[in-house]
Amino acid sequence: MSARALDEANASQGRAADPRFSVFVTANAGSGKTKVLIDRIARLLLAGSKPSAFLCITYTKAAAAEMQRRLFERLGKWCVADDATLRAELEALGEAGADLSKARALFAQALETPGGLKIQTIHAFCERLLARFPLESGVAPGFDIADDARASALLGEARAQAALAEDAPRQAFRRFAGAMGADQLDALLDRLAYRRADFHRFAALHQGHMFADAAIKNRHGARESAEVFTSRFIAGLPLDDFRRAAGALEQGSSQDQGWAKGFRGIVALVESRDPAGALQACFSAALTDDQPRKKLATKATNAAQPWLNPLIETFIDACVDARAALNAINRAEDTAAALALALKLDEAYETAKSRAGTLDFDDLIEHAQALLQRSAAAAWVLYKLDGGLDHILIDEGQDTSPAQWTLIEPLQNEFFPAWARAHLCALYSPWAIPSKAYTASKAPIRGVSWPRSRGFPSARRRPSSISLRPICAPHSVPRRIFLQRWMRR
C-alpha cells in the first residue's frame, strides 16, 4: 500500500471513529470496521462516557468476545504504557491532548462497571432487557433460555402434540402425506418448525389464520378449490365432438390414432365419473412436459376433415390455461396447508415451552419487540432505558434481520428529533460496494453508531453525505468506506 493510500485509510477511519457524529459505514471485509468500532468506544470512554451508557451489538458471541478482548487489550496497554508511548497512541487515535492519567484509569473503570461493558449479541441484549422488565414483558421472572438441544427436544414434543390434537389440521397432514414419503414429510415438518415464527408473523399481519389463508389464495388468483375447478373444466368439455373426432382420426395414421386414443380415454373417464383422472388424461393428450403438443392431425386427415385441427388447437389452448390455473391453485393450497401446520406447530411449541418455563432465541426478539413497541409500558421502559443509554453501535448490520432492526428502532427514536428520524430510515437500505471481487454483492449497513440528542445538531442543521476516497491500494479487496455524517452547514 502506498503512503498516500495509507494516509487516506487512517483519515477515513479516524473520521468514522469520531464520537461527536452519527455515522453510517459500509465497507468490504478486512477494511477495519471492527477496529473503527473499538476506536470509537475508546474515544467515548476518553470523552467521559460511562461504560454502562453505550450499547454495542454484534452478530455472534465470538464477535462480541473478540471485540471485548481487543478493547481490554488496548486499555490494558494504556494502563502500563509510559507517557511518550501513551501520548503517541492517543494522538494516533485522534485524541491528542487527552489526560494521560484518565486514559490509564479506563482499564480499571471498565473492569469495575456493573454488568460489564455492553458489547453483546442482539439476543443477549434482549435477555437482559426482559430480565430487567419481566412483568412488563409478560415473561416469568428468572426464565430459562432453551439451548439448541433443548429447543429441538421441545419441538419434537410439539410435533407429536400437534399431530394428535383434536383440532389438528388433518387435511393439511393428509395433503402432504399423500404426496411425500416419510423422510420428505419429516424434513418438511422440520422446515415448518424452523420457520414457524415467520408464519406466525404472517398470520398476525393479516389479523388471523382465516384472513391469512384468504390472502394466500388471493395472491395466487385461486378463487376455487382444485376439485371445484376440475369439475367445472370437465363439465365444459365437448364430449360429442371428441367422440366424432375420435371416429375420424382412427382412420388415419398412427399420429392421428394417438389423438383418437386420447379422446376416447377422456370420454371414458368422464363417463365413469372420474373427473381427476379425466383432467390428467386431457393434460396427457394435449401437453408434452407441460408444453403444448405441436403435432396435430396429419395433413391428409385434416384435408378430409378440416374441422379437426381447429378443435384440437382449441382443446390444447384450454388445457394450457387449465394447467396454469391448476398449478396456481395447488401452490395456494400447499401454502395454506403449510400455514395451518406451522401455526399448529407454533401453538404446540409455545405450550411446551410454557410448561417448561423456557424461552428460545426467537422468543427473546419477539418479547423484546412487543415490550418496546406494543406494550402499555413501552413509553416507561424506553424512558428508563433512555436514562442510562447514550450511544448505540451496531456491528455487522448486513447479518441483522429486519425483525432485529425493528427492535433497535424504538431505541434510536428516543435519541433523535422527528426530522432526523425520518431521514435516518433511509440509511437501512442495501449499498453496493464498487469492488471487482464484490460486484455481485449488495452490502447493507455494516456499522452504525448513533449518539444521543444532547450532542446532536439542532433541527436547523441539515445532514450531508460524504463519500470517502478508496482506503486501500487499487488491487486489494477492501475498496471503499462511505459515511453518512451529521455536520453543520
Which phi-psi region, left, alpha or beta, contains residue 357 (left: φ > 0; alpha: ψ -120 to 50)?
Answer: left
Residue whose cell numbers read 392421428: 256
pLDDT, residue 309, reads 92
**Residue 100 exposure: Cα atoms within 13 Å on the Cβ side:** 11
Assess contact for 42 and 75: CB atoms under 8 A. yes
C-alpha–C-alpha distance, residues 433 and 444, integer Å: 10
- In order of 7, 60, 121, 363, 395, the CA distances from 407 in angstroms are 38, 17, 13, 13, 15
- The angle subtended at Cα 383 by Cα 378 and Cα 385, nearest 5°, is 95
pLDDT, residue 400, reads 56
Torsion 449-452-457-460 (CA) sign? positive
Q: In one letter, which amino acid is 69?
A: R
- At residue 447, φ and ψ (nearest 5 deg) are -155, 135
Long-range contacts of 90-99 (CB under 8 A, 24+ apart): 90/46, 92/10, 93/14, 93/17, 93/39, 93/42, 93/43, 94/14, 94/17, 94/18, 94/39, 94/43, 95/43, 95/46, 98/46
Assess contact for 33 and 447: CB atoms under 8 A. yes
Q: In one letter, which amino acid is 302?
A: N
Q: Note the pLDDT tens digit of each residue in 316-364.
A: 999 999 999 999 999 999 999 999 988 888 888 888 888 888 888 888 8
Which phi-psi region, left, alpha or beta, contains residue 190 (left: φ > 0; alpha: ψ -120 to 50)?
Answer: alpha
Name the stretches of the chain with pLDDT < 50: 417-489
The full DSSP string for 265-297 is: HHHHHHHTT-HHHHHHHHHHHHEETTEE----S
CA-based radius of gyration for the chain: 33
Assess contact for 127 and 145: CB atoms under 8 A. yes
pLDDT, residue 386, reads 60
Q: Which residues lie closer than 8 Å to 206 by C-beta, 6 or more apart?
A: 212, 214, 215
Helix, strand or coil for residue 262? Answer: helix
For the record, the C-alpha cell of 72 comes out as: 481490554
Q: Note the pLDDT tens digit of each residue in 73-94.
A: 999 999 989 999 998 988 888 8
pLDDT, residue 470, reads 32
C-alpha–C-alpha distance, residues 40 and 33, integer Å: 11
The residue ranges of every structural domain in the chain are 3-110+390-485, 145-356
- Report which of 441, 443, 438, 449 is spatially closest to residue 478, judged by C-alpha positions: 438
Assess contact for 46 and 102: CB atoms under 8 A. yes
Helix, strand or coil for residue 121? Answer: strand
pLDDT, residue 145, reads 87
